[in-house]
Amino acid sequence: MNFPDYENKRVIVTGASSGIGAAVAKALVDLGAEVHGAGRRKPEVDVASFQTLDLTDPASIEAAVSGIGGHVDALFNCAGAVPMLPAIEILQVNYLGTRLLTELVVANMSEGGAIVNVSSDGGYGWRKKRELLIDFVSQKTFSDGAAWYEKNEEAAGHAYSFGKEALNMWTMVQSATLITGGIRINTVSPGAVQTPMLEAIEDAFTSASIDPVTFPSGRRSTAEEQVGPILFLGSDSASYVNGADIAVDGGFWASLSVSGALWNE
């Protein structure tokens, strides 16, 4: 990969110790970026700094952003929660905590800044829940969002898919606001990616539950195959890409779209 504009750029990667986040952090270090990692465990790659981050805890989020400090050129939100955790924790990691961290980092960004949120093909259902999701993402605070979900859990559905749906919707909503300050925000939606997270899901649900997501490519992605689209969205090469959700799933979303499975009840 050749993204020369990352050289000497100051970037943050959450979830930098594993899976897609680790692959993104390594690629950015190799490209000459000043990479600041944040997550539960320190990454193996030699980052400029590391902050312990618990996305279920607003105090931890605030401390991590404060610890990094200074101007930020790009934020890569790669941290995510497995779908076997308690519902509220999944929602906090995959959306509420990610949103709060992003809002705090944006204060340290200026024109030319970029945010890339790693969503999931599990978040495509936002198209059927638009009004519900708009109500949810309009909740102002971390605690307001948690309270809303506890009240509306049945309508919202499983916290994993709903959190990713909310991340997609919020990204689109924010894209119209942040761009007025010259900051872009986009998402990528991976399909089945062979990472420690996927291995944990297999242990809980078996491989048969994952196999349908490999259609039509017939295989799983590597973490490294997700890096190029993510770095593209955060780079100057994507200077006019804003509010987009790029499917990096081997054609899974396309196959659902043409079959009508996404649109029919």
Total Cβ atoms within 10 A of residue 23: 23
How many whole angstroms separate alpha carbon 65 and alpha carbon 20?
A: 21
Sheet holding 245-248, edge to edge: 49-52, 34-39, 10-14, 74-77, 114-118, 184-190, 245-248
Name the region of 180 (left: φ>0; alpha: ψ -120 to 50; beta: rest): alpha
Backbone angles phi, psi at 174, to 5 degrees: -70, -25
- 95 included as an active-site residue: no
CA distance readout (Å), 99 to 61, 148, 218: 10, 15, 34
Q: Which amino acid is at 121?
A: D
> Under 8 Å CB-to-CB from 188, ≥6 apart: which residues?
116, 117, 118, 119, 226, 229, 230, 233, 245, 246, 247, 248
Q: Which of 124, 149, 160, 240 is catalytic?
A: 160
- Segments in 206-250 forming alpha helices (H): 223-234
How many whole angstroms separate alpha carbon 253 and alpha carbon 213?
A: 9
Total Cβ atoms within 10 A of residue 207: 11
How many whole angstroms separate alpha carbon 117 and alpha carbon 173?
A: 13
The catalytic residues are: 160
